[in-house]
């Protein structure tokens, strides 16, 4: 009988310490979900130790650290030059799209000249090749405009 009463007293003391520490935690520091799950899985005696170790004093106001990427006129010039070089390189990628479209329709004409009965099937493949090549060209132009105006 004494053991049951003693274990009940320990449990109630543990629960009391958990509730008091939870109220302290709610005002001081919000524990993460992983910490709360770990505290649930731990034994009742170790819960109080785990909860007590989570209480950390933090300063009330911390100034956010801001760092500027462009600090001098020289670095601004370098950044704008890199932007223009990248946009130019992306625009040159659109020339590859033009070459691809020319290659697709050149192959269409060659295939049609060899076997005129496959006109419809060759034309559908040519349209597919045209669409894929044009999509890459539009992607290059989109990257060029993003480099110029978004960054």
The domain 73-149 belongs to what CATH superfamily?
A: F1F0 ATP synthase subunit C (1.20.20.10)
Furthest C-alpha separation in the chain: 103
Lowest mean pLDDT among 10-19, 59-68, 97-106: 10-19
Domain with CATH 1.20.20.10 in the chain: 73-149
pLDDT for residue 91: 87
Question: Span 89-106, mean pLDDT?
Answer: 88
pLDDT at 25 over 50: no
User: Quick one: three-class SS letters along the chain?
Assistant: CHHHHHHHHHHHHHHHHHHHHHHHHHHHCCCCHHHHHHHHHCCHHHHHHHHHHHCCCCCCCCCCCCCCCCCCHHHHHHHHHHHHHHHHHHHHHHHHHHHHHHHHHHHHHHHHHHCHHHHHHHHHHHHHHHHHHHHHHHHHHHHHHHHHHCC
């Amino acid at each position: 009988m004494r053991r049951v009463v003693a274990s009940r007293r320990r449990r109630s003391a543990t629960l009391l310490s958990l509730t008091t520490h939870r109220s302290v935690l709610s005002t001081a520091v919000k524990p993460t979900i992983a910490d709360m799950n770990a505290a649930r899985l731990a034994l009742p005696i170790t819960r109080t130790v785990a909860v007590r170790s989570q209480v950390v004093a933090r300063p009330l106001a911390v100034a956010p650290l801001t760092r500027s990427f462009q600090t001098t006129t020289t670095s601004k010039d370098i950044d704008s030059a890199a932007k223009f070089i990248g946009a130019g390189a992306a625009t040159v990628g659109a020339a590859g799209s033009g070459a691809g479209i020319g290659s697709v329709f050149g192959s269409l004409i060659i295939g049609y000249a060899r076997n005129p009965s496959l006109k419809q099937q060759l034309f559908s493949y040519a349209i597919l090749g045209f669409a894929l090549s044009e999509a890459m060209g539009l992607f290059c132009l989109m990257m060029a405009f993003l480099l110029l105006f978004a960054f």
